[in-house]
Structure 1
Amino acid sequence: MNTTKKDIRALSLHELEAYFSSIGEKAFRARQVYEWLWNKNAHSLADMTNLSKSLREKLDEHFIINPAEIHVMQRSIDGTIKNAVKLHDGNVVESVMIPTSTRTTACVSSQVGCSLDCTFCATARLSRMRNLTPAEIVDQVVLIDKQSREYHEKPLSNIVFMGMGEPMLNYPSVTEAIRKITDEKGLGMSPRRITVSTSGIPKMITKLADENLKVRLALSLHSAIESKRNQLMPFSIKFPLSDVMESLQYWYLKTKSRITFEYIVWKGINDTDEDIQALVRFCKKVPSKVNLIQYNSIEEGGYNQASNQITERYIQLLEKNGITAKIRKSRGEDIDAACGQLANKH
């Protein structure tokens, strides 16, 4: 890690142009560097071969590129890949490549550790060390795209911010990373194939709606009964479901994009008809669909997956009320890569 030079990827295009102007270079040089950084994903200033050697040496006096690198890669029997991604300061985050016959999805992290305290999630047991930079988020996407091409002979198609951390609590980096990923001068991916998953911070949901990024939104709900949700996700005491719903309604008003509710059904916790009816009422307040997620056990978790009959009961009553619902089977459980299992065991 270099502590004296600044990572050049921290500079915006405007800041790059200002720098080149200050050293007597034309503005188009900044655009060349920007393309190397965000479209060609150069990890060394020496790679920028359309710059003169003297100019590259001048850049090297002041700047560095600190790429994230795969520290450990694990492959699941179902084709899922989990990466322990090492950052320039020695911290590690985890990201996951989830392949199917029609697509490849990258599940990326936004924080080292997590700021929240969800009782069913292994990541929540890690202290939040720091937020990731936009470049560190983009690096995860680029690394998984390379893996998808290598192991499945197709490019990355979808991105979900469902890895380590709460994306809304690293809002500036997450939104800037999305812009880099979707920019034609960057990775050029469709924003409609990006989903930001949040545990529910109303003012940030409203702020994201105003960004007009055209991404999808998912909310980790797990109970539409306030007292139960507060037990499962203690931080949510600060964010009542009424406030969350108001922000979701604003989201739909601004974006016309329906919300996905992520919902785990546990035995003895939220497996009654009262729980299902509460979810039905909640869903009817805003255009939405429900993903019923398989629970993935964690050490000393104390939770158990509800029976298949209960899950089917959820599906039955939701669909009876006109609400789209499906069971989302987890991938990569054998390598602790499934939802809620990311815990930096390496």
Structure 2
Amino acid sequence: MSQNKVALKNFTEEELKEFVKSIGEPSFRGSQIYSWIYKGAKTFDDMKNIPKSLREKLEEVSFIGNLKIELSLKSNIDKTRKYLFELNDGNIIESVMMDYEDRVTVCISNQVGCRMGCRFCASTLEGLIRNLEPWEIIDQILKIQEDIGKRVSNLVLMGSGEPLDNFENTKKFLKIVNDKNGLNIGYRHITLSTCGIAPKMMELADLEIPINLALSLHSPYDEKRKEIMPIANAYPIKDILDACKYYIKKTNRRVTIEYSLIKGVNDSEKEAKELIRLLKGMLCHVNLIPVNNVEERDFKRPDKSHIYRFRDILEKNNIPATVRISMGSDIGGACGQLRRKHK
């Protein structure tokens, strides 16, 4: 594929109308093309009401963008499916579909690999290879919808990569995915997870779009957090919690505090009490995540009674907390593991 061709899924509807005008065609054709893209058109020939001359012109200067499903695994435990997608350059990314009774949630990647280096995550083991473009993020959703024959209603930007490290493409993706004539997924149904790039959290807040923000905290102590998450060397806990409070003020949305429970590392009563002190009075909710065992890492999951004791300490002190239920644990475990095994 020519490097000079434009990816049409990188455009909002208005931008696509402008693009069509720029190649000498009436702008209403942009809306028609946009509609075809989100109806699942794979080729320009699928666009039946577009004149042949325009289809030929589009073929020369642009592409629709189609990721290939390299591998799809279905859980025998629940309705979860894990996907590996092959990008145009041969790189592989991973997505997860979770089918609940009342909604279909997809966890999507926005980078190939990740440079954040969190020690409990398999996605970071090879570092960052490259950022994904908006169309590559969007196509994960389109391909999953097509595969399962159901509409995706909820999104979590929590697959491979740090969304705020790919901020411009993430911003563009959020705009496109919310487009009423496109995927039309409401902002309140989208959760963005970050390991805590404080300045970008503030920038996200300034956009004043009401998506849900989830912060990976994983320890209430700066020194311990640095051992688990290298990003903590750049942004101390005070800075990231200040950014959370700013986000709450700007969007009036409750922030989720992600806390991976690691046996003997961050799961003591002392840590629970310090977490209570830090979060007192903040509009937040703690999502406790019993860590997945990653072969290349030495972290282990605490036993069940220990996990629920940690939750109860928070709850008794008016910090809302839930324990995340592991979905599809029989088909690839932790984020990034399926991709690594496949490679």
TM-score, length-scaled by structure 2:
0.94
Query: 1-side partners of 2:321 and 2:41: how far apart?
Result: 42
Match of 1:120 in 2: 120
Taking a change above 3 Å as real, the CA distance of residues 341 and 132 of structure 1, as seen in their structure-2 partners, is same
Match of 1:263 in 2: 259
Match of 1:220 in 2: 216
Offset of residue 107 of structure 1: 0.6
Query: 2-side partners of 1:17 and 1:146: how far apart?
Result: 26
Query: 2-side partners of 1:291 and 1:23: how far apart?
Result: 49
Amino acid at match of 1:205: M
CA contact (8 A) 2:44 2:59 kept: yes
Structure 1 runs, 4 residues or longer, greater than 6 Å off: none
| Matched-pair identity in % | 40
CA contact (8 A) 1:110 1:170 kept: yes
Match of 2:133 in 1: 133
Out of 151, 159, 182, the residue aligned to residue 155 of structure 1 is 151
Query: Does 1:99 find its partner at 2:102?
Result: no
Offset of residue 228 of structure 1: 0.7
- Unpaired segments ≥5 residues, structure 2: none
- Please list the CA deviations of residues 84-138 of structure 1 after superposition, one character each: whole Å capped at 9, or x if unmatched: 1011111110001112233221010000011210111111102211101111111
Map residues 144-293 of structure 1 onto 2, 5 A cutoff. Answer: 144-149=144-149, 154-293=150-289
Match of 1:90 in 2: 90
Taking a change above 3 Å as real, the CA distance of residues 342 and 224 of structure 1, as seen in their structure-2 partners, is farther
Query: 2-side partners of 1:112 and 1:89: how far apart?
Result: 11
- Please list the CA deviations of residues 253-305 of structure 1 after superposition, one character each: whole Å capped at 9, or x if unmatched: 00111111111212211122210111111221521111111211111311111
Amino acid at match of 1:191: Y
Match of 1:67 in 2: 66
- Unpaired segments ≥5 residues, structure 1: none
CA contact (8 A) 1:126 1:343 kept: no
CA contact (8 A) 2:257 2:287 kept: yes
Offset of residue 6 of structure 1: 2.9
Taking a change above 3 Å as real, the CA distance of residues 5 and 157 of structure 1, as seen in their structure-2 partners, is closer
Taking a change above 3 Å as real, the CA distance of residues 61 and 300 of structure 1, as seen in their structure-2 partners, is closer
SS of the residue corresponding to residue 310 of structure 1 reads helix
**What is the aligned residue count?**
341
Amino acid at match of 1:264: S
CA contact (8 A) 2:73 2:83 kept: yes
Taking a change above 3 Å as real, the CA distance of residues 323 and 47 of structure 1, as seen in their structure-2 partners, is same
Match of 1:81 in 2: 81
Match of 1:110 in 2: 110
Query: 2-side partners of 1:248 and 1:23: how far apart?
Result: 44
CA contact (8 A) 1:106 1:156 kept: yes
TM-score, length-scaled by structure 1:
0.93
